[in-house]
Structure 1
Amino acid sequence: MITTKKSEIKILEQGHITTAEGFYAGGIHCGLRRKKLDFGWLYSETPAAAAAVYTQNSFQAAPLKVTQDSIGKNQTLQAVVVNSANANACTGYIGLENAYHTRKKTAEKLGIAEELVGVASTGLIGVQLPMEKINHAIEQIVEMENDPEKFEEAILTTDTVTKHVAVQLEIEGKTITIGGAAKGSGMIHPNMATMLAYVTTDAAVEPDALQQLLSQTTDKTYNMITVDGDSSTNDTVLAMANGKKGNTPLSEHHPEWEKFKNAFAAVSKILAKKIAKDGEGATKLIEVQVMNASSTENAGKVAKAVISSNLVKTAIYGADPNWGRVICAVGYSEVPVDPDKVDVYLGHIQVVADGLPSEFSEDEGTAYLEGSQIIVKIDLKQGSAEATAWGCDLTYDYVKINASYRT
C-alpha cells in the first residue's frame, strides 16, 4: 500500500477490478485459445453509471458498436463480457449480429435488460466468432462469484502479465474505492492502443461527469502511451460507478471532486504505464517528460514524437546514449521550438544544453540506459506547460512475436 500525501490516496498495488464494493468478475477457458483463459465477465450488483472512450481507428470492431449502443440508451451498464483471441473486427454484418447476440444471451443469463450489457473482444482481426463456444461460455457466468484474477487473465492476448490496481480515498467520510484492470502489449500507440481497460468505483458519480472525467483522463494517460506505432480496431476504456457507498453523486460541483478526479487519474496512469512496460518483447519502460512548453498540447506532441521514435526506442534498447535521435524527434514533432534553447537529459545526465552537446560520460550514459526504467527529460524553455508519455524499447523479440502472430 502506498499513500500519497498530496491527495490522500492509498494505492493498493494488489487491488483489483472488484476491490470496489458490489463488483464481481470471473473468467474461463471456452476454446478460443488452446489452453489459456479466453472469456471473462464483469458484473455489478446494481446498474452503474457508465462511460466509455473508443479507438479512433476507422475500422471499429463490432463489439464497440454494441457497447456504444448500450451506453447510449441511458449511460448505464450492469455487466460486461470480454473474449480474447478473436477481435470480431472486419467481420461485416455477421460479426455485428454475433456481437448483439452475445449481448442478448448475456442479458438473459443474468436476468437483466439487454442495454445493461457491454461487449468487448480482442485478438485476431477478420475471423468470425465461433458462436457455439461463446454461447457455452455465457452459460458458465456466475454473476456473484468473484475471481478477478481470472478476468484479468481471460482478456490477455500477447501480454506477459496481468495489469490491475485499486486506490482508496475518503469522500464525505466514506472510504471510496476505484479499481482497474487492463490488457495491452502490442499494437499500442496514441491515440488509444490495442488495449482494453476497465475502471470501477463504488462511488456515486453523475453519468455526464463520469464521461467527461474519463475522456479528460484518457487524453493524459492511455493516449500518452506507445509500443509500436499501431492503433487497433478494438480499443475501449470503460468506467462504471455503482454508487454502493451512498455518497452524494459526484460531479465538478461537488466539494471533493478534485480529490476523486486525482484518484481516478492515478488508476488510469498506473494501468497505462503497466501496458507500456509490458510491450511485446520489451525490456525497459521509457518515460518522456517534456517541460516548459508553450502549451500542454505542444508538450504532448513533443512527448509523443519522442516516445514513438523507433530510433529512440532502439537506441535505448542498445543502451546507446545517442541524444541526436531525441533532438531529431523533437524537431519533427511539428511544434515550433527554438533549437538554441532546448535541453535534454537522460535521467539526471544532461546530454544537450541550449541545443548543443553537453559534456558527459558515455560510460555513465550507457550504464543508465542499461536500467529497466528510463526517463528522458526535455526542457523547451518556452513557457510553463508540461506533459508525459510512456513507451518501451524496441527489441528483436518484438519482430519475432509479430512475425508469427497467426501461427
Structure 2
Amino acid sequence: MTIPVTLAGPTLDDVEAARLLVRRVAETTPIETSRYLSDILGTTVLLKCENLQRTGSYKIRGAYTRMARLTEEERSRGVVAASAGNHAQGVAFAARELGIHATIFMPIGVALPKLQATRDYGAEVVLRGHSVSEPLQAAAEYAERTGAIYIPPFDHPDVVAGQGTLGLELLEQVPDLETVVIPIGGGGLASGVASVLKRRAAEEGRTIRIIGVQAANAAAYPISLAAGEPTDIAIGSTIADGIAVARPGTLNFAIIRDAVDEVVTVEEDDIAQAMLVLLERAKLVVEPAGAVGVAAVMQGKVSAQGTTVVILSGGNIDPLIMERVISHGLAAGERYLKLRIPLPDRPGQLARTSEIVASQNANVVEVLHTRHGTGLQISQVELELHIETRGPEHAEQVLGALREAGYQPRVDF
C-alpha cells in the first residue's frame, strides 16, 4: 500500500511529542512470543501485551495525551466522558494524575469491577440508561450545561497521537516487524498505530502490513469502507463490548481507509476460543475485544510472511463473564460435549454408557435422565451427558465408541 503524502492524522513528530506525555503514566508493555500461533501462521508471532498496561488497556495513552494538553482554564472546568469500561478507567486515571475533576457516565448494567475501578481512580460516576448511547448523550448534555471538557474515546487528534505511541514502542521492540494485527472499534488504536507504522515504513523504504479485526456482530468498518464514508450500523449481541461501536470516527476512518491494508471479522465462538488459548498457552487474561486479533490468526483470517505482532488491547473482564466465556470456549473447541442419547428403558443402561465414556478417558461432569424427551418412544428414555474431552479428535473418539456399542448419540449445541 502506498501512503499518500496527505495521510490524515498525527505526524511522527506529533506522536513523539505525545510520547513525552504518555511516559509519565504508561508502562512500556512487554512483547511475548506465541509458539502456538507461530505454528498456525507459519511465521513468528509475537503478542503486544497492552492487557498488562496501567488501567488494564491502551486507553490511558490517548486519554492522558488529550487531558495533559488542556489549558489551566479548561482543567478548572473539569472533564466528562461516557464509557462502559476501558475509556472510563483511562479518563478517571488521567484525571487523578492531572488533578482534574472527572465525571463519567456509564450504563446501569456496567460490570461491577469496571464501575468500582473507575470510582477508585477518583471519578464521579453517573449511571444512565442501559446501553452506551444513553451515557454518550448524557455526557454531551452535561458538557454543554456545565462547560466541562468532553474527552472522546477515539475521534480526536490528541487521542490518536496518544494511541500512536504504542506504534513507536513496537518499532523499538520489534525492529523487523512486517505485519501487525490490531483490534478495531471506533478506530482510535488502529488509526494511531497505523499512521506511525506506515509513515516510518515509507521513510525507511520498506513495507509493514496492517490488518484490522472487528467482531462480526459489530463490524462498522467493512461496510463503511465499502461505502467510502463512515456509516452507522445496528450492533448485534457480542461479547466484545469494548469494540462494539456503531459508527467509525471521522478522523479514524480517514486514516484507516488509507493506512490499513485489510479489515477482517471474527465470530463470537472464535473470540471465546482465542481467550481460552491465551489463558492456557500464554497465561494471559485478555478481554474479548482484546483477543479478536488472536481469533483472526486462529481462524485463518490473517496471512503473513515475516514477523507478525498481534496487539492484545485490554484485559478488563468481569470474572462472571470470564466464567461464561471459558465454558463457551470449551464447547466451541469441542472440549465440552453435551450429548443426548436415546436408551431402552431398562436397568443398567446408564452404567453401561458411563463405562464406555470412562473407557475413552473422558470425564462425565453432569447427567440428566428423563422419560419426557421429544420424539422418544414409550419404551425409551433419554440420557443427557455433559462430558469433558481433550479436543475435537478425543470428542470424536468418544462418539465413535458410543456408536460402536449401538447407541445413537446426538451432539446438542
Give the TM-score taking structure 1 as reference length.
0.29
- Bigger proportion of residues as strand: 1
Q: What is the TM-score with the length of structure 2 in the denominator?
A: 0.29
Q: Please tell me whether Structure 1 or Structure 2 has the larger radius of gyration of its CA atoms.
A: 2
